[in-house]
Structure 1
Amino acid sequence: MSGAEDGRRTISDALPRAGEVLHVGAAASVQFAGARALTFRVIRVDPRVTYDGWLWIDGYVLGPTGEATERRVIFVKRDGLRRPH
């Protein structure tokens, strides 16, 4: 794990694990910039090989109180994922 400029912990070499909660913002993919950023609870990481450094992650979008509001599969840059404080 390495530190990010904004002080949040990033995911570097380790894959996200089931149950882990992540902040998914613009650093992970432009589609999650600004108000489209997500708090996301991981169900699984798809094992298929894709572009270097990119992952397909299956999980739940979490609402403001931590409840699951939507199940999604997202395509993101591993180095752009953040663990919330």
Structure 2
Amino acid sequence: MQPDPGSRNGVRAGDVVHVGRSASVQFDGSSALLFRVIRVHDRPTYDGWTWLDGYQLNRNGNAVKRRTIFVQIDGLRPVARRTSAPKRVSVPNTRPYPASSQLPRQRN
């Protein structure tokens, strides 16, 4: 993976990567997985290796397990990269009742 602005070692939160044998021998064959990165650790380690926090994804892209993995950066294969922050959606005020300021005053 090539470094980009805002990334650490070429990987950043939001990236989805394929983790196989080229990333670490523990992910050989049926142990390979898709992984959504949520954190890249900045602790010192061997040159070209890093710790990643994230979610193991199933075939549908749904998170099935949170994991911390130790991998070689050059062995990760990018699947998808988040291009921007998720957009917030505004929800209209659909109160089934009027706001308290709109209620008639009660007499004491």
TM-score, length-scaled by structure 2: 0.66
1:19 aligns with 2:14: yes
Q: Which residue of 2 aligns with 1:75?
A: 70
| Secondary structure at 1:84 match in 2 | strand
Partner amino acid, structure 1, of 2:65: E
In terms of Rg, which structure is larger?
2
Residues 21-72 of structure 1, C-alpha deviations (whole Å, 9 max, x = no match) = 0000000000000000010000010000100000000000000101000000
Q: Distance in 2 between matches of 1:53 and 1:33?
A: 19
Q: Distance in 2 between matches of 1:24 and 1:30?
A: 10
List gaps (5 residues or longer) in structure 2: 4-8, 81-108
Q: Distance in 2 between matches of 1:44 and 1:16?
A: 9
Overall identity of the aligned pairs, in %:
57
TM-score, length-scaled by structure 1: 0.83
CA RMSD of aligned residues (A): 1.3
C-alpha contact (below 8 Å) 1:15/1:45 kept by paired residues: no
Comparing both structures, which one devotes a greater share of its residues to strand? 1
| Secondary structure at 2:26 match in 1 | helix
Q: Distance in 2 between matches of 1:29 and 1:81?
A: 9
Q: Relative contact order: is structure 1 or structure 2 higher (C-alpha 8 Å, sep ≥ 6)?
A: 1
Which runs of at least 4 in structure 1 moved beyond 4 Å after TM superposition?
A: none
Q: Which residue of 2 aligns with 1:50?
A: 45
| Secondary structure at 2:42 match in 1 | coil
